[in-house]
Amino acid sequence: MINRYLVALVLGMFSLCTFSQDFKIIGKLVDKEQQVPLEAATVVLETLQDSTVISYTISDRNGEFELSGKSNLQKANLFVTFVGYQSYEQQIDFSKTREINLEDIPLEFQVESLGDVVVKGRAAPVVIKQDTLEFNAASFKTKPDATLEDLLKELPGAEVDEDGQIRINGKPVSNILVNGKPFFSDDPTIATRNLTKELINKIQVVDTKTESEEFAGEEGDSENKTINITIDEDKNKGLFGRVAAGGGTDDRFEFAGIGNYFDNDLRLSVLGSGNNINSPGFSFGEIEKMFGNASYISVSSNGGFNVGGRSFGMGEGIVNSRNAGMNFANDFGEAVETSADYFYSGANTFNETDRVRENILPDNRFTSVSNSRTDSNTDNHTANLRFQAEIDSTFMVEYRPSLNYTVGTNSSSGSSVTTNEAGDLVNDSDYDNFNDRTTRNFSNSLTATKRYGDKGGFIRINGDLQLDETESTDFTNSETNVYGTDASQILRNQRTNGDNNTDGITTKVKWRIPLISKKLFLETEYEFKNENRTNTQLVYDFDATTQTYNQLITPQSTDFESTNRSHKPQLGVTYNSKKLRASVNAAYVARKLTGEDLLTDETGNRVRDIDFENNFDALEAMARLNYNFTQKLSLWSAYRLSNNAPDIRQLSPYLDVSDPINTIQGNPNLSPTNSHGLNMGINNYDWETRSGLYSYFGFTFTNDQVVNLTTVDDNFVRATTFTNVDGVYNGYGNLGYNKDFKLDSLRTLKVEVGMSGSINRFVNFFNADQYASITKSLGPSLGLRFTWTDWFEIRPEYRISFNETTFNRDFFDGQDFTQHNARLRTTTYFPKWLTWENDIRYTYNPNVGTGFQRDAVFWNTSLAYSFLNDKALATFKVYDLLNQNTNSRRTATQSYIEDVQSTVLQQYFMLSFSYKFNTLGKKGEVRENGWWD
């Protein structure tokens, strides 16, 4: 019976594909009175029966359009919309020909435009309104229980990776708003993975702006996008959310829950989650997150694998994490907006590591064998408040305070042994440490913006205050032995009391003066910064007589105070038009850094004569250009001259002897780092062909880069200081192309081709010998996504990376290795209540050391059963099905070869259950009308 059912199903699908035929409709849209072409109008072909979208396109700069696709229908309805014009409809007859030329189609101007033209309750799939790209959610077909993330993946030009990062037409999305307001602070995935499609009316894509920039009418960041989700008023009241929990082998567990209450402008959300499967973020156990929020796979020349920050054979330990939070937002009248959120995150981490490192010096080698064990716990609390008030139509005030409180403990122990090339013992050490740390951070920002006139002028004043305080207690019990002619032994049983404080203030004043109304502006700005730091480290020896730590060790202690003060006047010109945005500005930075060590001995005398003052004055400049050739094609570029002062610790001549075999001392003669950076990019998305091309590259040249200068003595004890070097540069480039093919009414194919590359030049020192290295990488990639309606999806990907490192000194050998990465994701929705997902990743590296595995396959799989009208979901999943996660790796660099074994997450099986609830709207049903299938 089942076999006959499957045969009938396959024959039915084949017959649907067979009878679908190609069609093509061309035409031109013009203004009825002026006969000028209309660019970016939406042209939709719908079924006559239920207005289901068959295909759609956007008119080009000449008003011309070409609508093509596959359909077995003999008649269909053509629907045209354009903002500010009356809509147009025409019935299309395919019975005589499948290629139809409509020639000119006149659209009549609508005097009382409401912005969006909606006829008979229908809306266009895509509408372009000046700087806003708007999608109609109901026009795109998804699975029945789709989230916002699922919906975004169906939008033309949109990409969503498994880490939840979003790109629209090649440009990254940084913010998610719901009805114009933030949803749960700055984590976009909480919105994209918990808001369901049934709630959403429109998805609007705009350039990213701050609230004050929006109020002042400033241009936003055109290379960074913000998504605003609009929810219909009748669906904006009620409660919705989801809860989930799971348990597995080896005592693995996970749980998560989120609840949201919406009442128009009032929004209240709470969430909580926890797991011990190395997934630190908030999730409901999606199969992608079984790889640890993986956004990439990297393989070093040693055979170690890193997937999205989680190491396979790289050893990051086992993490037991927990999260909780709440968010509140409400408007008070028309002029006041408020929001507040609180978030707690905690983690316990355990790791054991064994290392064997062969260190390569210009004239000899030495080997270090070490082991370590760490066990840490961290608890973090963060609270944020946002208050915004429009005093009148020209004056806005925004206030943002933030509070962070973190407590943590860390215990570690270990030992190391160092031998020379002959195998003779050179030095050894062992230690047992415990650390207790408390950190408090408070910051607030107050911004006032005043518009004047009607030409785009404004004055903005901003003040930021930052207060940081860290208190710590460290207990160290260690023994270090140095052998040879200058043999020595260092025994330490010490307590270190740390007290670090920072208070900083930043004040900015910006004045925009219109020269040409709303187009050309003169901008003046002044910024003042003042940061005061105190860094107290008091180290005490253990007194065996009193059994207390009461003997201050002045060589290891410090009481350092520093000030970083700068004045930065700036002058620039900005030009904005429909197609061109350009700006040029220059600034002069007058910076003074001062520092002194106030540590005194028992008699009250200063222990060290460290008191320095450095002045770093420099010019800075920046130029930006963005040009929109058409609605499809845009170019952006930016140049920046920047200067960065050395860190106070790099300047201070204090000798840090906390590590007996690696002392560190600053250099007060350091110069500021000077960098020239150029970035360019191009984006082109063609709505007619559903294809996109994007490319971007950057190059930065740096002089006076601050680097470590390390020398190693005969007993392999290291002494490190800092110096400046010239000739450092780095460059990168990326090229990508994607295209959607609608094979027929059931099947679609998306192709993504990419090429990335980089080149970097580093200048460093090795045992006081200066050398330069150049690293190059080139990585082509190919990805496919084949979808057969809502039954099946397969997504194969492949990437190869060629890497090369060369040196200008003969005592280093160059490196040349190739990495291969392949991935296969499949999803089967058959029957509709059963979902089977697979995520298979394959890595191959032929250049690993002897005895190390060259390839590995990581396969995660899950089977989900949906019931109770798709409200409940039972899931069985397996992490590392083939049990190939290894805990050993080899790393080869210019200065060492290292073998490592450490703690990694092993294979587990887990059964979980989730339930979602929703009282928004009347029934919360997904709107079928207008689906694009």
What does the alpha-carbon distance between residue 654 and residue 148 come to, in Å, rounded to a whole number? 54
Higher pLDDT, 891 or 835: 835
> What's the token pair of residue 52?
């289901």
Quick one: average pLDDT of 361-387? 90
φ, ψ dihedrals at 658, nearest 5°: -65, -30
Query: How much is the pLDDT for 165?
Result: 82
Query: How much is the pLDDT for 81?
Result: 87
DSSP string, 435-458: EEEEEEEEEEEEEEEEEETTTTEE
**Confidence band of 639 (pLDDT split at 50, 70, 90):** very high
Higher pLDDT, 32 or 530: 530
Tell whether the model's pLDDT for residue 8 goes beyond 60.
no
Of 308, 460, 455, the closest CA to residue 397 belongs to 460
Rounded to the nearest 10 degrees, how much is the dihedral formed by the CA atoms of 198, 201, 203, 206?
-150
**Confidence band of 83 (pLDDT split at 50, 70, 90):** confident
> Which of these ranges, 364-368, 448-452, 764-768, has the smallest mean pLDDT?
764-768
pLDDT digits (tens, 9 = 90+) for 382-426: 999 999 999 999 999 999 999 999 999 999 999 999 998 888 899
**Confidence band of 130 (pLDDT split at 50, 70, 90):** low
Query: How much is the pLDDT for 219?
Result: 75
Tell whether the model's pLDDT for residue 224 goes beyond 90.
no
Strand, coil or helix: what is 210? coil
Residue 171: exposure state from Cβ atoms within 10 A (0-12, 13-18, ≥19): buried
Tell whether the model's pLDDT for residue 449 goes beyond 80.
yes
Query: How much is the pLDDT for 921?
Result: 62
Do the beta carbons of residue 748 and residue 794 sit within 8 Å?
no
Q: Which residues fall within 8 angstroms of residue 659, CB to CB, at 6 or more apart?
A: none
Q: How many residues are present in the chain? A: 933
What does the alpha-carbon distance between residue 401 and residue 386 come to, in Å, rounded to a whole number? 7
Tell whether the model's pLDDT for residue 280 goes beyond 50.
yes
Query: How much is the pLDDT for 291?
Result: 46
Tell whether the model's pLDDT for residue 863 goes beyond 90.
yes
Quick one: average pLDDT of 162-178? 80
Tell whether the model's pLDDT for residue 853 goes beyond 70.
no
Tell whether the model's pLDDT for residue 529 goes beyond 60.
yes
> Which of these ranges, 77-81, 283-287, 442-446, has the smallest mean pLDDT?
283-287
pLDDT digits (tens, 9 = 90+) for 242-260: 899 999 999 999 999 989 8
Do the beta carbons of residue 107 and residue 31 sit within 8 Å?
yes
Tell whether the model's pLDDT for residue 849 goes beyond 70.
no
Quick one: average pLDDT of 619-648? 90
Do the beta carbons of residue 866 and residue 894 sit within 8 Å?
no
**Cα dihedral 16, 21, 22, 27 sign:** negative
What does the alpha-carbon distance between residue 475 and residue 381 come to, in Å, rounded to a whole number? 26
Rounded to the nearest 10 degrees, how much is the dihedral formed by the CA atoms of 195, 197, 202, 208?
40
Do the beta carbons of residue 240 and residue 196 sit within 8 Å?
yes
Tell whether the model's pLDDT for residue 303 goes beyond 50.
no
Tell whether the model's pLDDT for residue 221 goes beyond 90.
no
CA atoms within a 13 Å half-sphere pointing along the CA-CB vector of 807: 18
Tell whether the model's pLDDT for residue 272 goes beyond 80.
yes
Query: How much is the pLDDT for 295?
Result: 31
Tell whether the model's pLDDT for residue 9 goes beyond 70.
no
Tell whether the model's pLDDT for residue 284 goes beyond 70.
no
Quick one: average pLDDT of 683-694? 81
Query: How much is the pLDDT for 847?
Result: 60
Higher pLDDT, 601 or 247: 247
Do the beta carbons of residue 204 and residue 179 sit within 8 Å?
no
Which residue, chain included where needed, has tokens 């080869």? 892
Question: How many Å separate Cα 225 from the centre of its chain?
Answer: 13
- CATH assignment, 22-129: 2.60.40.10
Average pLDDT, the chain: 84
Do the beta carbons of residue 281 and residue 295 sit within 8 Å?
no
Query: How much is the pLDDT for 209?
Result: 79
What does the alpha-carbon distance between residue 873 and residue 868 come to, in Å, rounded to a whole number? 9
Q: Which residues pair with 665 in a beta bridge?
A: 655
**Confidence band of 122 (pLDDT split at 50, 70, 90):** low
Query: How much is the pLDDT for 712?
Result: 82
Per-state percent for the chain, helix, strand, coil, to nearest 5: 5, 65, 30
Percentage of residues in the chain having pLDDT higher than 70 = 88
Query: How much is the pLDDT for 530?
Result: 97
Strand 718-725 vs strand 662-665: parallel, antiparallel, or unpaired?
parallel
Which range, 68-72, 104-108, 457-461, 851-855, has the best average confidence (pLDDT)?
457-461
What does the alpha-carbon distance between residue 927 and residue 933 come to, in Å, rounded to a whole number? 14
Do the beta carbons of residue 798 and residue 782 sit within 8 Å?
yes
- Give all strands (DSSP E) within 209-335, no chain letters: 221-231, 237-248, 253-263, 266-275, 297-299, 305-307, 310-312, 318-332
**Confidence band of 432 (pLDDT split at 50, 70, 90):** very high
Higher pLDDT, 610 or 566: 566
Query: How much is the pLDDT for 933?
Result: 29
**Confidence band of 486 (pLDDT split at 50, 70, 90):** confident
Tell whether the model's pLDDT for residue 163 goes beyond 80.
no
Per-residue DSSP letter, 212: H
Query: How much is the pLDDT for 850?
Result: 60
Do the beta carbons of residue 548 and residue 513 sit within 8 Å?
no
Higher pLDDT, 669 or 895: 669
Quick one: average pLDDT of 34-51? 85
